[in-house]
Amino acid sequence: MLAAAFDALALVLDPSRLVFMLLGISVGLVVGILPGLGGVVGMSLLLPFVYGMDPHAATAMLIGMAAVIATADTFPSILIGVPGSAGSQATILDGYPMAQQGKAGRALSAAFSASLIGGLVGALVLFAILPIARPLVLAFQSPHLFMLTVLGLCVVGLLAGKYPFRGILATLIGIMIAMLGSAPATVTFRFVGDSIYLMDGIPLAILAMGLFAVPEIIDLLADNRAVSRVKEVSSGWKDGVRDTLQNRWLVLRSAALGVAVGAIPGLGGSVVDWLSYGQAVQSAKDKSGFGKGDVRGVIAPESSNNAKEGGSLIPTMLFGIPGSGTTAVLLGGLILLGIQPGPSMLTSDLSITLTIVWTLALANVVGAFACFLLSRPIARLSTIPAAKFAPFLLIVMMVGAYQNTNQWGDLIAFIVIGLFGWLLKTYDWPRAPVLIGFVLAPSIERYLTISASRYGWTWLTDPIVIVIGVLAVAVVVAGVRAKRKGLGES
């Protein structure tokens, strides 16, 4: 394993691949600092360009981008009080008051150093878990993988957004969109009519860009928003690093929580920072400063939201179940590269897996240092009004969309899905489950077909299948009850 790990490091450090990792990191930094454009958008922007690329270079680029978003999204959270992505919401509670008090530099510095440690812990845990997970994952058969996928979809649907049924519905809509095109195991084209374009189905990159980027751009323009009002970042950089080191146990505790929560499909992105913030408040002796600019309220969520990237890659790579919207697109990217996530990630594609682990670690280090170095120009970038960058972003996305099949259908699908995503966003329907359902649909169908053809219907009496099924039902019931209670209280 160690020899394979060092081989993978040599692959990542090869200049021809390193440049793609740095490109991914650069895109991740830009996407992270622009509010609303999270990992899914960044991943979707890069996805069309991975066609035909060397798999190691392509995964380094995608992971490099995903790894630094959780670091870069701290800028808007602290400087403007707007979450850069779903995982940086809790940072606002204390980071923004710190910025208002003229301590933005200290808050950013504490956040970057905590993010660096959290990201490294995530990569370390991911590496450490591979030999343990290997026999476990290889023991799973198609019926178990089918039920795990169903369980993952239930969890994703329930935890995304405010309303539990809308989350589950969004997941099912995603599956239904994936049904467009050729059916597996038969020569039937489903729901395509006379359209030749639809015979291959909707490309993942178009769905992701349409669902996430188009609605954000439309709303930013319609609300005529400049990204930031804060133009200068104050001093206090050393104090922030000192704060992180003084609260090292909080950093490690939050990172451990981040990895654990990130490994649960659907749970990671939007709740890990809140859970981490909650445990920071619970474990603090003096709670009076929280919400008013306490640096611990910045350190805890930032450490955990970087660590969760390593955690979310565990189910993505080993079970083929994405832990978040970002990893859902990554999963699609891996498939485009001819890599089938699942048990093969620990056998034939082990070098890819280890490349991902190394990239995650390296990208966190490079990303954190880049954030330190670029903080002043980035703060100025975030003051650019949406009207000044939207046309360029739109053209880049349309070019990316067109690369999927080089047909007009790409551009039409892009805008139709974009408007659908805008309606979903406007009416408070979660969009991430649509994407996750779309990505998982072929796996569900494949596992179900293999299970039925190999075991008939006797697989339904398998004890592991029954346990996972009961767990899925319990998750749905508990999730619906918890959400309804939460809504009632709010």
Binding site for other proteins (CB under 8 A): 49, 163, 165-166, 168-169, 172-173, 175-176, 179, 183-186, 188, 190-191, 218-219, 221-223, 385, 387-388, 390-392, 394-396, 398-399, 402-403, 406, 408, 411, 415, 423, 426-428, 441, 444-445, 448-449, 487
Distances, alpha carbon 156 to alpha carbons 391, 433, 438, in Å: 33, 6, 12
Tell me how far apart the alpha carbons of residues 425 and 89 are, in angstroms, rounded to a whole number.
Answer: 18
> What is the total residue count of the chain?
490
Tell me how far apart the alpha carbons of residues 332 and 334 are, in angstroms, rounded to a whole number.
Answer: 5
Tell me how far apart the alpha carbons of residues 120 and 365 are, in angstroms, rounded to a whole number.
Answer: 8
Tell me how far apart the alpha carbons of residues 449 and 467 are, in angstroms, rounded to a whole number.
Answer: 21
Chain-centroid distance of CA 193 in Å reads: 34
- Dig out the tokens for 318 from the structure: 């080993």
For other proteins, the closer CB: 183 or 470: 183
Minimum Å gap between C-beta 173 and other proteins is 7
Minimum Å gap between C-beta 146 and other proteins is 12
For other proteins, the closer CB: 219 or 239: 219
For other proteins, the closer CB: 6 or 51: 51
Minimum Å gap between C-beta 277 and other proteins is 22
Tell me how far apart the alpha carbons of residues 241 and 251 are, in angstroms, rounded to a whole number.
Answer: 12
What's the first-to-final CA gap in the chain, in angstroms? 50
Tell me how far apart the alpha carbons of residues 472 and 490 are, in angstroms, rounded to a whole number.
Answer: 26
Concatenating the DSSP letter of every residue in 262-307 gives HTSTTTHHHHHHHHHHHHHHHH-S--TTTTTT-THHHHHHHHHHHH
For other proteins, the closer CB: 249 or 392: 392
Minimum Å gap between C-beta 262 and other proteins is 27
For other proteins, the closer CB: 306 or 404: 404
For other proteins, the closer CB: 235 or 407: 407
Minimum Å gap between C-beta 74 and other proteins is 24
Minimum Å gap between C-beta 447 and other proteins is 11
Minimum Å gap between C-beta 328 and other proteins is 18
For other proteins, the closer CB: 157 or 266: 157
For other proteins, the closer CB: 232 or 428: 428
Minimum Å gap between C-beta 129 and other proteins is 32
- For residue 181, give the 3-state DSSP assignment: strand
Tracing tokens 């990792």 back to the chain, one arrives at: 21
Minimum Å gap between C-beta 425 and other proteins is 10
Tell me if 345 sits within 8 A of 136, measured CB to CB: no
Residue 105, exposed/middle/buried by CB under 10 A (0-12, 13-18, 19+)?
buried
Half-sphere exposure at residue 345, Cβ-oriented, CA atoms within 13 angstroms: 31
Distances, alpha carbon 88 to alpha carbons 7, 126, 166, in Å: 34, 22, 23
Tell me if 290 sits within 8 A of 274, measured CB to CB: no
For other proteins, the closer CB: 176 or 284: 176
